Every structure is written in structure tokens, then in C-alpha cells.
Amino acid sequence: MLSVLGIIPARCGSKGIIHKNKCQLGGQSLVRRAEDSPIRAGIDYVVSTDCYDVEQGVLAETLVRRPTELAQDDTPMIDVLQHAMAEVNVKRDAVMTLQPTTPFRSAEDITNAIEIMERTGCDSVISFVDVGSKHPARMASIDDDGRVAWLHSRDRFARRQELPPRFIRAGSIYLTRWEVLEQGSIEGDDCRALIVPPERAINIDTPEDLAEARRMVES
């Protein structure tokens, strides 16, 4: 069985929502909630953070204290992961990135991603969700004068049932082989998909996203 290290990236700053990772959802902060799925799935994990307030509220036995230069708005995720890998200093087969901003990830999603990597020998597994009614065939660019340019002219008026399935990255699961991350890639050459349902693919970027997630928890 693959040995997997989960990394929960939880920096202090955020543009869309102030102190986003500390926001409460169902009586827990987003970063604390992110710990539940790896605990239930039985994989080891660490929290990478530059925030003392986050450190106080987590269960993780290992905290990776991230330097300020790796906690900026434009810091590439690959740099954050490589820093955590170096700090842990125990090589595993793969790393699973578990972002707090996708709070409905399940333990089943984690174990299914690991199973896909074990079965296929792929470089990475990333979660995706069906785009549903927001199909790219119906998308267009609109210029400053309001002029429409269809991105896919052939199928723009096709019925939903006639359109081929299309998927968008869900953000909840990124499972990557250790060596691939060391080489500076999250995907590698062979990336496989884990399809998750829409209710587990909510990604919190805006106050509206957070409000919708709270409605889901309360319903």
C-alpha cells in the first residue's frame, strides 16, 4: 500500500475573505475541519502555516512553520509543498494536498484517490466535478462593445443531453508522487481523475461561497 503524507496548507493571509482559513463552518475553523478527512482515512498529515492562531486550534502532531516569503498571495503551491516535505524529512510514496477551502472532502475521496494511484501507477490523481449546465460549449467572450464571440461555435445551441461530459478541477484532492513534486510538478506526465459529486466540490473563495457552505451545513 502506498505511504501517503497529507499536507494542509493554511496561511494567515487571504484576499477574498480576511483570515479565511480561520473562518467557522459547523462550529470548526476551515483548517480544523480539513483535518477530519485524513484522520478518518487513516493517513498521516501535517499543517503548513505561518499563523500562530491556526497553530493553537489544530490537532496535528506536526506543524510546519512556514516562512513569510512562502506565505504570499503569489507563492506557488509547489514551493509550499516542497518546503513541508523538506521539513518533515521522511520520504513517502506520495503527497496529498488537502486545502482547507474545500471543506466537504470525504475520507472516501482520499482512499479512492490512493486506490487509483495504486491501481494505475500514475503520477498524480486530481479531483474533478462535472460542469453541469455551465458547459464550455455555451461560453463566449464579450468585448468592450458587448460583441459576442462564441468559444465553441458548433455546439453552442445543442441540448444539454447532446453535449459531451466536461469536468472542472474540484480542488479537494491533489495526490502526487513524491518524486514528481521534487521535480517541480503537481501533475507529472500521467494525471488521472477522481470524479466527485458537486456537494463535495464547493471551493470557498468569496463570502458568497462561505455563506453557501454554511447553508449546506445547517440544512
**What digits encode the pLDDT tens for the residues 76-132?**
999 999 999 999 988 999 999 999 999 999 999 999 999 999 999 999 999 999 998
Q: Could you tell me the pTM of the whole model?
A: 0.88
Asked which of 19-33, 54-68, 144-158 is least confident by mean pLDDT, the reply is 54-68
Query: What is the predicted pLDDT for the residue at 137?
Result: 83
**What digits encode the pLDDT tens for the residues 131-145?**
988 888 888 999 999
Supply the mean pLDDT for the chain: 89
Superfamily of domain 4-131+166-218: Spore Coat Polysaccharide Biosynthesis Protein SpsA; Chain A (3.90.550.10)
Query: What is the predicted pLDDT for the residue at 54?
Result: 64
Query: What is the predicted pLDDT for the residue at 190?
Result: 97
Return the bridge partners of 129, or none: 168
CA distance 69 to 67: 6
Query: What is the predicted pLDDT for the residue at 113?
Result: 98
CA distance 216 to 144: 37
For the chain, the straight-line distance linking the first and the last C-alpha, in angstroms and rounded, comes to 38
Nearest to 32 by CA among 70, 71, 60: 60
**What's at 203, amino acid-wise?**
N
Backbone φ and ψ of 94, nearest 5°: -155, 160
Query: What is the predicted pLDDT for the residue at 133?
Result: 82
Sorting pLDDT into bands at 50, 70 and 90, what band is 18? Answer: confident
Sorting pLDDT into bands at 50, 70 and 90, what band is 20? Answer: confident
Those residues with Cβ within 8 angstroms of residue 166's Cβ, 6 or more apart along the chain or in another chain? 130, 131, 135, 136
